[in-house]
Amino acid sequence: MKPFTSQSSKGTLLIKCIKHNSAEYKDTVALRDVVLRKPLGLDFDPSDLDKESNSIHVACYLNDALAGCLILQPDDQRGLKMRQVAVSPECQGTGIGKAMVRYSEQYARENGYNKIHMHARDTAVPFYVGLGYSIEGEPFEEVTIPHRHMFKVLV
């Protein structure tokens, strides 16, 4: 899918798909570590990263500096599981998460997927609700913290 660019008072935003194991991908792993793992006292298992080779990797840059990333993992039912959504602490709350989710939805539509689903951290549930995602099922624990199953059917 084509990269997305926009201009704001903060500068130039660029969202694009990047290749697994590229230098850009390694930067996103470092960001995910800072935002998602270290605060929980956890580390990445290198074998987990190998399993991501078939996923779509999305990165967002503000003025050429990495500001956010996420992964889209295809399932076997024309759906994508959105994983590892991370915005750098200094950029949180500035619309980057929302722009990456919108980009992912467009990617899904253009590539024949009809649903995005995720295991959302409890603290991020209102973020996804604001983007039209619904909660399904009961709360559960993952990486030591409460999560909810959430999904959106794309039209």
Ligand X SMILES: CC(C)(COP(=O)(O)OP(=O)(O)OC[C@H]1O[C@@H](n2cnc3c(N)ncnc32)[C@H](O)[C@@H]1OP(=O)(O)O)[C@@H](O)C(=O)NCCC(=O)NCCS
Q: CB of residue 139 vs ligand X: minimum separation in angstroms? A: 13
Question: Looking at beta carbons only, is 55 or 94 nearer to ligand X?
Answer: 94
Which residues contact ligand X by CB under 6 A?
Answer: 35-36, 85-87, 92-98, 120-121, 123-124, 126-127, 130
Nearest to ligand X by Cβ — which residue?
Answer: 97
Q: CB of residue 16 vs ligand X: minimum separation in angstroms? A: 17
Which long-range contacts (C-beta less than 8 Å, at least 24 apart) are formed by 30-39?
A: 31/66, 31/68, 31/69, 31/86, 31/88, 32/69, 32/84, 32/86, 34/86, 34/88, 34/89, 35/86, 35/87, 35/88, 35/89, 36/84, 36/86, 36/143
Question: Looking at beta carbons only, is 108 or 150 nearer to ligand X?
Answer: 150
Q: CB of residue 26 vs ligand X: minimum separation in angstroms? A: 19
